[in-house]
């Protein structure tokens, strides 16, 4: 026996499905808001930084993710920048566009115009952001200024140190430059940036493998402003960085227990 479904029943079913599709991202955003607000209450003296923007609820390193970080009240918003073939600085983590866009190839081999032809097609709740484009460093700074966010700018360590002056020029030309922080794994880039823009804090970024007291010594002896350390580092190492007098950021924390741990250890900002 065959059962038929009336047009009215199908219409109701489609309406319910569309409502659910709209509701799920909203519920995820509300959960993210409540978690963030709880952390802020418990860790009220720690500066909270949104990793690649509020990338839990919008595609990473995009303008919507940074606007959401501002709307949710984050202190800062971290981003990654890569240089195009023709000297523009674009927000993207990987050195290729393959993961985040409908294109393929290395950022360094593409012009700004070529990159603007691509569409961001990956990331959390991407369905809410049709025709999303990669952002420039300048656009990101504009959003941070609009929301009072502190920009935390990671110059990827594959950058040519001889091009870092372009980033310094962009930052120094901004009236809100006292809000900026630059972070990098590359020692030469850190030193170059500190020489070019001594008024902008530069933090030496480290992972959790092959780290030592020598890394702390490098930052201290070269008058860098701080270190951005990995969540996996042991308490003794974190205490040594704090004791050195450097400002201390920590990345990437996704659970409250680790956030509280680093808060107790005396870090200044959590990403």
Averaged over successive runs of 10 residues, the pLDDT of the chain (271 residues) comes to: 42 36 47 54 75 97 98 96 98 98 98 98 97 98 98 97 98 98 98 98 96 98 98 97 97 90 93 92
C-alpha–C-alpha distance, residues 100 and 94, integer Å? 9
Residue 34 is inside which H or E element, if any? helix 7-42
Beta bridge mates, 247: 226
pLDDT at 104: 98
pLDDT at 271: 92
φ and ψ of 237, to 5 deg: -70, -40
Query: How many other C-beta atoms lie within 10 A of the C-beta of residue 18?
Result: 10
């Amino acid at each position: 026996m065959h059962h038929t479904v009336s047009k009215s029943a199908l219409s109701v079913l489609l309406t319910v499905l569309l409502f659910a599709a709209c509701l799920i991202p909203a519920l995820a955003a509300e959960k993210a808001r409540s978690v963030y607000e709880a952390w802020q209450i418990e860790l009220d003296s720690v500066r909270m930084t949104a990793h690649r923007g509020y990338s839990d609820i919008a595609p990473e390193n995009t303008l919507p993710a940074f606007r959401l970080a501002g709307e949710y009240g984050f202190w800062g918003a971290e981003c990654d920048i890569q240089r195009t073939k023709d000297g523009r600085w674009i927000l993207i983590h990987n050195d290729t566009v393959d993961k985040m866009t409908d294109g393929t190839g290395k950022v360094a081999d593409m012009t700004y115009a070529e990159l603007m032809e691509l569409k961001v097609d990956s990331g959390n709740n991407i369905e809410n952001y049709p025709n999303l484009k990669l952002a420039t460093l300048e656009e990101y700074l504009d959003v941070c200024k609009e929301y009072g966010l502190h920009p935390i700018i990671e110059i990827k360590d594959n950058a040519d140190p001889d091009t870092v002056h372009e980033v310094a020029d962009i930052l120094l030309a901004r009236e809100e430059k006292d809000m900026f922080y630059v972070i990098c794994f590359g020692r030469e880039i850190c030193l170059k940036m500190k020489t070019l823009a001594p008024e902008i804090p530069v933090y030496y970024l480290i992972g959790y493998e092959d780290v030592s007291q020598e890394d702390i010594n490098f930052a201290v002896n070269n008058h860098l402003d701080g270190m951005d350390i990995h969540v996996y580092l042991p308490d003794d190492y974190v205490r040594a960085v704090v004791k050195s007098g450097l400002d201390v950021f920590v990345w990437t924390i996704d659970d409250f227990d680790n956030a509280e741990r680093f808060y107790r250890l005396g870090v200044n900002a959590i990403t």
